[in-house]
Amino acid sequence: VLKIGEFSSLSGVSPKRLRYYDAIGLFHPAWTDPATGYRFYSPAQLPELYRILALADLGVGLAEVAGLVAGGDDLTMVLRRRRRELEAERTALERRLAAIHVALDRDEHGDPVGIVTRRVEAQPVASLTAAVDPGDHLEPLFDEIEAHVRDHDARAPRPPALVVHDRTGRRLSIEIVVPVTRPVPEIGRITNRMLDACAVASLIHRGGYDGLDRRRRRLRTWLRTTGLQPVGPLRIVYLQFSGDAALRLPAPFLAGSDASFVTELQQPIEAVP
Amino acid sequence: VLKIGEFSSLSGVSPKRLRYYDAIGLFHPAWTDPATGYRFYSPAQLPELYRILALADLGVGLAEVAGLVAGGDDLTMVLRRRRRELEAERTALERRLAAIHVALDRDEHGDPVGIVTRRVEAQPVASLTAAVDPGDHLEPLFDEIEAHVRDHDARAPRPPALVVHDRTGRRLSIEIVVPVTRPVPEIGRITNRMLDACAVASLIHRGGYDGLDRRRRRLRTWLRTTGLQPVGPLRIVYLQFSGDAALRLPAPFLAGSDASFVTELQQPIEAVP
DNA sequence: TTGCTCCTCACGTCACGTGAGGTGGC
DNA sequence: TTGCTCCTCACGTCACGTGAGGTGGC
- The mean pLDDT value for A222-250 works out to 95
pLDDT of residue A230: 96
**Which of A120, A125, A199, A204 shows the shortest CA–CA distance to A160?**
A125
Sign of CA dihedral B7, B11, B15, B16: negative
Q: Does residue B203 register a pLDDT over 90?
A: yes
Residue type at position B32 = T
Contact flag, residue A32 CB and nucleic strand D, below 7 A = no
pTM of the model: 0.91
pLDDT of residue A195: 96
Residues of chain A with pLDDT > 90, as a percent, come to 88
Q: What is the pLDDT of residues B67-77, one digit of tens each?
A: 999 887 899 99
Q: What is the pLDDT of residues B16-66, one digit of tens each?
A: 999 999 999 999 999 999 999 999 999 999 999 999 999 999 999 999 999
Contact flag, residue A36 CB and nucleic strand D, below 7 A = yes
What rounded mean pLDDT belongs to chain B? 94
- The mean pLDDT value for A197-223 works out to 94
Flag if B44 and A255 touch (Cβ within 8 Å): yes
Of B12, B50, B87, the CB nearest to A204: B50
Contact between B150 and B142 (Cβ < 8 Å): no
The verdict on A69 touching B (C-beta cutoff 8 Å) is no
Chain A neighbors of B100, CB-CB under 8 A: 58, 79, 82-83, 86
Task: Report the half-sphere exposure of A104 (CA within 13 A, side-chain side).
Answer: 17
Flag if B86 and A108 touch (Cβ within 8 Å): no
**Which of A143, A154, A144 shows the shortest CA–CA distance to A185?**
A154
Identify the closest residue of chain A to B202 by CA–CA distance.
A50
Flag if A97 and B107 touch (Cβ within 8 Å): no
The verdict on B92 touching A (C-beta cutoff 8 Å) is no
Q: Does residue B109 register a pLDDT over 80?
A: no
pLDDT of residue A12: 96
> How many angstroms away from the CA of A34 is the closest CA of chain B?
21
Q: Nearest nucleotide, C1' to the C-alpha of A35? A: D24
Mutation for testing the B interface, residue in A42, A57, A258 having most B CBs under 10 Å: A57
Could you give the strand order of the β-sheet that contains B234-240, starting from the edge strand earlier in sequence?
B116-120, B198-206, B262-269, B234-240, B161-168, B171-179, B123-132, B190-195
- Any residues with CB less than 8 A from the CB of A111 and at least 6 apart, and which? A218
The verdict on A48 touching B (C-beta cutoff 8 Å) is no
